[in-house]
A and B are shown apart, each in its own frame.
Chain A
Amino acid sequence: QQQVKQSPQSLIVQKGGISIINCAYENTAFDYFPWYQQFPGKGPALLIAIRPDVSEKKEGRFTISFNKSAKQFSLHIMDSQPGDSATYFCAAKTSGSRLTFGEGTQLTVNP
């Protein structure tokens, strides 16, 4: 019940396109849903996060969509750029607990 399932495992998008990565969870006690971005040779870095009291959060070209009833959330990258090429991890946690990470999605944005 602590798992977070992420898909797809890899994604190739053309420059200017929309990248969409999906995650699903079972634990309804989760109350914090961050996305992390990891470039080669670096640690994951917090990109954007959402709490379940809102259905969408947007920061620049990055948007999290949250569907509480379906227990799903997704990351949308608008106008994808080659510099967005990285591995993306979704995660979830309950108050005071540790983060549970998804399996990761390797995004490649072709010029």
Chain B
Amino acid sequence: DAGVIQSPRHEVTEMGQEVTLRCKPISGHDYLFWYRQTMMRGLELLIYFNNNVPIDDSGMPEDRFSAKMPNASFSTLKIQPSEPRDSAVYFCASSLVGQGKGYTFGSGTRLTVV
């Protein structure tokens, strides 16, 4: 298995632009999570899905953030418009309930908003 695949690995964009981060979870996993990591706030859960349905989006910081999971093999996190304070590493993770092996994280997308 190729693991959780995120793209792009790095994204540099100007303030006000739309940014779309992509994630392909491990095949067969039924949970998908989006996290944001910064030095100041550590790992923050933004939103998670179960069987493609959003379960908890209380961590999404503002209406500028949105996430979708149109099918079991793809999810996106969109920021529009982007701001410098959105600069962080964004991780996607997936898991299979009952597997007992925790989450598998992708390698992350480092976002820089200038």
Do A and B come together as binding partners?
Answer: yes
- Chain A stretch 24-54: residues in CB contact (< 8 A) with chain B: 32, 34, 36, 41-46, 49
Instruction: Convert B23-52 into 0s and 1s, putting 1 for each residue whose CB lies closer than 8 angstroms to a CB of A.
Output: 000000000010000000011010010000
Instruction: Convert A8-23 into 0s and 1s, putting 1 for each residue whose CB lies closer than 8 angstroms to a CB of B.
Output: 0000000000000000
Tally inter-chain residue pairs, CB-CB below 8 A.
42
Known: A42-B107, A43-B108, A104-B42. A98 touches B102 (CB 8 A): no
B103 contacts chain A at the CB level, 8 A cutoff: yes
The count of residues in chain B whose C-beta lies closer than 8 Å to any C-beta of chain A is 19
- Chain B stretch 64-114: residues in CB contact (< 8 A) with chain A: 91, 93, 97, 100-108
Tell me the nearest residue of chain B to A98, going by C-beta. Answer: B48
A36–B33 CA distance with the chains assembled, in angstroms: 16
Interface residues on A, range: 10 to 19
Chain B contact residues, CB within 8 Å of chain A = 4, 33, 42-43, 45, 48, 56, 91, 93, 97, 100-108
